[in-house]
Chains A and B, each alone.
Chain A
Amino acid sequence: MAQRDEIVDAMASLALFADLSRPQLAAAAHTFEEEWFSEGQRILRQGFTGSNFYVILEGEAAVRINGETRATLSRGEFFGEVSVLLGEPPTADVVALRPLRCMVLAGPDTEPFLVTYPRVMYRILQAQARRLRNANLWRG
């Protein structure tokens, strides 16, 4: 029983949580819930309200709009934040491509979480900036 909390270790190794201290990580780990998805299972559903914020711990997922794959996501990446931040249904499905292990934060808990951990918010902003830059490069 003396090993450290495995979830805390898993989160500590992700860039998103890299700035958190150990007690902060422990609190964060207990704020998220762990969830597994089987291959082919939908996690986000295009057009459905009440979605949540997900961080991938293991596995791979596809982002699909009207059935067409637009991107794949893997360990350390996150999804659902746009829908949660804007309070709008997701504009894409996210589907597990193989068994997918996530940490999930309930939509309504996301704002208080990000306000409590501004360094995580900053990391999310950075990731969004990268996505925006890549989208612009792609368009250009």
Chain B
Amino acid sequence: MAGVADRPFPPGRYPLVVVGSGPGGLQVSYFLRRLGVRHAVLSEDPAPGGMFLRYPLFQRLNTWSKPYAIAERKTRPYEWYDWNSLVADEPAHRSTVPEFMDGTSYFPSRAEMASGLAAFAERAGIQVRYGCRWQATRRDEDGFALETSDGLYHGRAVVFAIGMAEPWKPPIPGIDAVPHYVDTPPARELAGKRVFLIGKRNSGFEIADALLPWARQIVLGSPRPPIMSVFASGAGVRAKYLVPYEDHIMGGGVFVLDSAIERVERTADDWRVFTTGQRTGAVEFRVDQVIATTGFSTPLRDLPALGVATFNQGRLPRQTPYWESSTVPGIYFAGAVTQGATGIRKHGHAGNSAGVAGSRHNARALATHLARTHFGVAIPRPALRPDEVVTFLLAEATRAPELWNQQAYLARVVTCDPAAGWVDDGIAPLAAYVDAAGSDAVAVTVETDANGDHHPTVYIRRDGRVNEHALPANPLLTFEGEKQRTELAALLKDLGPQP
């Protein structure tokens, strides 16, 4: 590693400090630079990639990057078919993950993902001070001071892109002795063993899937039934991990159990897991290995003491629609932590921010918001002719990766500015748009209704009041037909300058 003097961002004062070099930190730094906001990026890691330097444990992601898709690689619409690459305005920096994929799966391996992230950082020229550990935080005269292993940094605002990176276990008696997901032994060491996995979300099913050829018996236990992403839009166990569930349904030795875990005991030669289920009653399991596949929390360090309020048992900071701490203005979050801002939760769906697919688009909106509100940057607002507005909005609904990855969460906003006429105000959080005052405007999202149909949905602000209208669905997911055009044109009639 280069010496302290050769590394970028020596300690000192910066307009803005970003902590983290995972996808969230890289992506927000990329957009901040595009907007001309000077900032330092600090990371305790030795290289870019964040969680993908180590996880997923069994080395393959559960989100697609399709080397060949309906849209051409390196274009903006292609980003919807490639959930794992970071996003960019320059074609050369787009679609970096598929470049490294060897064609054995459309789910990239961990190494392919890490290579794609590193290539993005290098090509886009993202500067990071690696090996610089953020240790403590305090307020100072006009912002925040960050103590680090390299010295003191000051920023008027700070963006923490620190991942959901800290292993977390629920309060179950005896669980302290249970290894967490991150400490799962190699699968072959569990050959012929009985394994109990606490938790039935993606990480539980990931381990179960990896252990299918090795373990004698696999039990997945937690109070709530598993949610399968194929039946619920967005969050849920991904189809990639459905094989253990099928094994359970067919009675092959995997048991998926809806039971509270009362306590865990380590004995001389095995483990005992005491469960109580509504259907099973009290059941005691004797197994060779227990693993807590119970997820992660945000490594907030001293931020709660600074006043950053949390929820979900301290695992996530409470955030505004623009990912600012609800209780400490000036502290922002990027990356997976933005899943703590749940939007307006249409049909319960709280966005896709836990993954790179969603949080990369949040980073664009966050950087724009920071540039405008903290640093006085005039954000370009391209003008639209009145006769272009309908076409523009329906094209966005059909092809914008932001709207598809972040359904009912991010919106394309077109404002009828009293002075400038129709202007494109870019991508913004829907929750911020619908509750903000402002000029007459229209925002479009993509949303999935209770029947599973995808609709473009428009939110029209007229005289300060926002109304919602779902436009007709289309089985081939193209929303640029006559039905949608006619309906949207009628809704926008009398709004703004007329064609």
**Chain A residues within 8 Å of B, Cβ to Cβ:** 1-7, 21-24, 26-27, 29-31, 33-36, 38, 41-42, 45, 47-50, 52, 87, 89, 101, 104-109
Of the 9-residue stretches B45-53, B165-173, B388-396, which lies at the interface with chain A? B165-173
B235 to A: closest C-beta gap in Å: 10
> Is B326 part of the contact surface with A, judged by Cβ < 8 Å?
yes
Chain A residues positioned under 8 Å from B223 (CB to CB) = 23, 26-27, 29-30
A2 to B: closest C-beta gap in Å: 5
Q: Please give me the 7 A-B residue pairs with the lowest Cβ-Cβ distance, nearest first.
A: A106-B348, A50-B346, A30-B224, A26-B260, A26-B223, A27-B223, A50-B347
Q: Contacts A5-B170, A27-B258 given: A105-B348 contact, CB under 8 Å?
A: yes
> Is B458 part of the contact surface with A, judged by Cβ < 8 Å?
no
Q: Which one of B169, B312, B342 contacts A1 once the chains associate, using CB atoms below 8 Å?
A: B169
Q: Which one of A23, A48, A89, A107 contacts B259 once the chains associate, using CB atoms below 8 Å?
A: A23
Q: Could you give 7 example pairs across A and B, Cβ below 8 Å?
A: A1-B173, A7-B313, A27-B223, A49-B468, A52-B348, A106-B345, A107-B450
B157 to A: closest C-beta gap in Å: 19
Task: Tell me the bound Cα distance from A8 to B408 in angstroms.
Answer: 30
Q: Contacts A1-B176, A30-B224 given: A23-B260 contact, CB under 8 Å?
A: yes
Q: Which one of A6, A49, A87 contacts B470 once the chains associate, using CB atoms below 8 Å?
A: A49
Identify 11 new A-B residue pairs, CB closer than 8 A, beyond the known A30-B224, A38-B326, A49-B468. Answer: A1-B175, A4-B171, A6-B171, A23-B277, A27-B258, A36-B311, A49-B449, A52-B348, A104-B345, A104-B348, A107-B450
Contact B318 A50 (CB under 8 A): no
Contact B447 A50 (CB under 8 A): yes
Task: Tell me the bound Cα distance from A38 to B232 in angstroms.
Answer: 28
Q: Contacts A26-B223, A26-B260 given: A48-B175 contact, CB under 8 Å?
A: no
Q: Nearest chain-B residue to A30 (Cβ)?
A: B224
Q: Which one of A6, A7, A42, A50 contacts B449 once the chains associate, using CB atoms below 8 Å?
A: A50
> Is B57 part of the contact surface with A, judged by Cβ < 8 Å?
no
A-B contact number at CB 8 A? 94
B374 to A: closest C-beta gap in Å: 20
Task: Tell me the bound Cα distance from A50 to B345 in angstroms.
Answer: 8
Q: Nearest chain-B residue to A2 (Cβ)?
A: B173
Contact B171 A1 (CB under 8 A): yes
Chain A residues positioned under 8 Å from B312 (CB to CB) = 34
Chain B residues positioned under 8 Å from A27 (CB to CB) = 223-225, 258, 260, 278
> Is B309 part of the contact surface with A, judged by Cβ < 8 Å?
yes
Contact B311 A34 (CB under 8 A): yes
Q: Contacts A5-B170, A35-B342 given: A24-B278 contact, CB under 8 Å?
A: yes
Contact A41 B318 (CB under 8 A): no
Q: Nearest chain-B residue to A89 (Cβ)?
A: B468
A-side interface mostly? mixed
Task: Tell me the bound Cα distance from A106 to B348 in angstroms.
Answer: 4
Chain A residues positioned under 8 Å from B320 (CB to CB) = 38
B219-241, CB < 8 A from A: 222-225, 232
> Is B189 part of the contact surface with A, judged by Cβ < 8 Å?
no
Q: Contacts A2-B173, A104-B345 given: A23-B470 contact, CB under 8 Å?
A: no
A61 to B: closest C-beta gap in Å: 15
Contact B348 A36 (CB under 8 A): no
Chain A residues positioned under 8 Å from B470 (CB to CB) = 49
B169 to A: closest C-beta gap in Å: 7
B173-187, CB < 8 A from A: 173, 175-176
Task: Tell me the bound Cα distance from A41 to B344 in angstroms.
Answer: 11
Contact B347 A107 (CB under 8 A): yes
B353 to A: closest C-beta gap in Å: 14
Task: Tell me the bound Cα distance from A21 to B262 in angstroms.
Answer: 14
Q: Which among B173, B175, B176, B260 has the greatest number of chain A C-beta atoms within 10 A?
A: B260
Task: Tell me the bound Cα distance from A52 to B175 in angstroms.
Answer: 34
Task: Tell me the bound Cα distance from A45 to B343 in angstroms.
Answer: 12
Q: Which among A21, A30, A50, A106 has the greatest number of chain B C-beta atoms within 10 A?
A: A50
Q: Which among A6, A33, A36 has the greatest number of chain B C-beta atoms within 10 A?
A: A36
Chain A residues positioned under 8 Å from B326 (CB to CB) = 36, 38
> Is B154 part of the contact surface with A, judged by Cβ < 8 Å?
no
> Is B276 part of the contact surface with A, judged by Cβ < 8 Å?
yes
Contact B346 A49 (CB under 8 A): yes
Chain B residues positioned under 8 Å from A42 (CB to CB) = 435
Q: Which one of A1, A34, A87 contacts B172 once the chains associate, using CB atoms below 8 Å?
A: A1
> Is B434 part of the contact surface with A, judged by Cβ < 8 Å?
yes
A33 to B: closest C-beta gap in Å: 7
Q: Contacts A27-B224, A30-B222 given: A35-B172 contact, CB under 8 Å?
A: no
Chain B residues positioned under 8 Å from A41 (CB to CB) = 435
Task: Tell me the bound Cα distance from A48 to B434 in angstroms.
Answer: 10
Q: Nearest chain-B residue to A7 (Cβ)?
A: B313
Task: Tell me the bound Cα distance from A98 to B264 in angstroms.
Answer: 40
Q: Which one of B169, B171, B346 contacts A3 once the chains associate, using CB atoms below 8 Å?
A: B171
Task: Tell me the bound Cα distance from A33 to B312 in angstroms.
Answer: 8
B80 to A: closest C-beta gap in Å: 22
Chain B residues positioned under 8 Å from A89 (CB to CB) = 468
Task: Tell me the bound Cα distance from A107 to B449 in angstroms.
Answer: 11
Contact B349 A106 (CB under 8 A): yes
Chain B residues positioned under 8 Å from A87 (CB to CB) = 450
Contact A47 B342 (CB under 8 A): no
Chain B residues positioned under 8 Å from A33 (CB to CB) = 342, 350
Task: Tell me the bound Cα distance from A38 to B342 in angstroms.
Answer: 13
Q: Nearest chain-A residue to B434 (Cβ)?
A: A45
A47 to B: closest C-beta gap in Å: 6
Chain A residues positioned under 8 Å from B408 (CB to CB) = 50
Q: Nearest chain-A residue to B350 (Cβ)?
A: A33
Contact A108 B347 (CB under 8 A): yes
